[in-house]
Structure 1
Amino acid sequence: MNFFRGNVLRAALLLSIFYAESADADLSKTVPDPARPDEVLTSKIFYTGTVTLQKANDLVSALDELNVKYPRLKSIYLYIDSRGGSMSAGQIAYRAIQSSRVQVITVNLDEVMSAATMMFCGARNRLSFPDAHFLLHAPNEDFGGSFRPDELNRMREDVGDLRVMLSDIYGQCTNMDRKEINSITYSENNRERLTPAEASVKGMVTGMAHEIVDAPVSYYVKDRAR
């Protein structure tokens, strides 16, 4: 059984491949020697740095391999340390995590900010280390250049679509009411910087982490060294 359900994620994956920034990311993996796939019950993925379409594609690849190759796998711990980046990439990661056959547990290692909060919200179980923090704020898009009135209207619509997407995700992974979510996603003046305890009160964090799990299979999705 393929762990992707429906065609939405496939379309997002094709989009990510088409627009991939081919030189911005590294995906690596460590496996014990010898490794018996039927003995692997827990795995982990470290996602660090900017949220980009290429790295979202790498995350999808890692999740797909884990779901297919390890038949008895019970949990995938996704450790995130990111200040954000592309919202399109954040949505792809969010959908991939939601669609995984194997349970994904997201963990805030240090910083989960902006578009990275979308990825964090993809899991039902969302943990955080006690000294980590979160940043929720309004979406933004860098259009650059000069524009005609009709182009400005289209850009306004584009940003509005991003805001709806982000608001829907926050509505599903927090207990904040629509008024508070609308406030956060409308103006940078209403940004929310949260401690794990504050994020827990808002329902974004479901538990605390105090150590990195020991797992025989680990993946690393990171920015390419310059």
Structure 2
Amino acid sequence: MLYLDSEDNSKPIYLYINSPGGSVISGLAIYDCMQHIKSEVITINLGLAASMGSFILAAGSKGKRLALPSSRIMIHQPMGGAQGQAEDIKVEAAQIMRIRDNLVKMYSMMTGQTQDTIVRDLDRDNFMSAEEAVEYGLVDRVLDYNKQTDSQL
């Protein structure tokens, strides 16, 4: 994204997502890049956008967060694990709670849902269809089946 933006920031960047998720820290790095660049970032869900994949999907440019009709979106709270001495586990637990609180605020900002709603909905794996994701505010619309996708953007 940084390279494409530096080459020509007047052109949109298309970010196709089919992801079960991954590292929260890596996902936040992608989010930060998306917010930093001048280029519009069009996010398109093809298949599954789960966990941090759903977060990155929702972080696309407003009005340009898209999903294919059969795609699925899943949100949940961040997961982690710790082992070692009790104090080390306590520190790790506090860290993941801070990350969760930050993600709640960011999801709320991106979707328009209240933070209380986000907290409730992140409690367990929460799967949505493309249409449900539109209603929730994670994506702006579901693409139609046709060969002129670019004209829909």
TM-score interval, normalised by the smaller of the two chains:
0.7 to 0.9
TM-score for both structures, normalised by structure 1: 0.60
Instruction: Tell me how far apart the structure 2 counterparts of residues 65 and 166 of structure 1 sit (CA, whole Å).
Output: 27
Consecutive aligned runs of 4 or more in structure 1 exceeding 6 Å deviation:
none
Q: Which amino acid aligns with 1:173?
A: M
- RMSD of aligned Cα (Å): 1.9
Checking the alignment, whether the CA contact within 8 Å between 1:133 and 1:193 is kept in structure 2 is: yes
1:160 alignment partner, one of 85, 97, 101? 97
2:72 alignment partner, one of 125, 130, 133? 133
Checking the alignment, whether the CA contact within 8 Å between 2:17 and 2:44 is kept in structure 1 is: yes
Q: CA deviation at 1:175?
A: 2.5
Instruction: Tell me how far apart the structure 1 counterparts of residues 84 and 89 of structure 2 sit (CA, whole Å).
Output: 9
* Partner of residue 194, structure 1: 128
Bigger drift between 154-163 and 85-94 goes to 154-163
SS in 1 for 2:112: coil
Q: Which amino acid aligns with 1:201?
A: E
Point out the structure with the larger helix share: 2
Q: 1:70 to 1:127 in 2, by over 3 A?
A: same
**What fraction of aligned residue pairs are identical, expressed as a percent?**
24
**Residue pairs, 1:66-105, within 5 angstroms:** 66-70=4-8, 73-105=10-42
Q: 1:180 to 1:208 in 2, by over 3 A?
A: same
Q: Which amino acid aligns with 1:175?
A: G
Residue 209, structure 1, aligned to residue 115, structure 2: no
Bigger drift between 119-128 and 204-213 goes to 204-213
2:108 alignment partner, one of 147, 162, 171? 171
Q: CA deviation at 1:209?
A: 2.4
Instruction: Tell me how far apart the structure 2 counterparts of residues 142 and 91 of structure 1 sit (CA, whole Å).
Output: 19
Q: CA deviation at 1:142?
A: 2.3
* Partner of residue 50, structure 2: 113
Q: Which amino acid aligns with 1:65?
A: Y
Structure 2 runs not aligned, ≥5 long: none
**Per-residue CA distance 1:166-225 (angstroms, 9 max, x = gap):** 11221111122221111233x33xx310001111111111022246857xxxxxxxxxxx
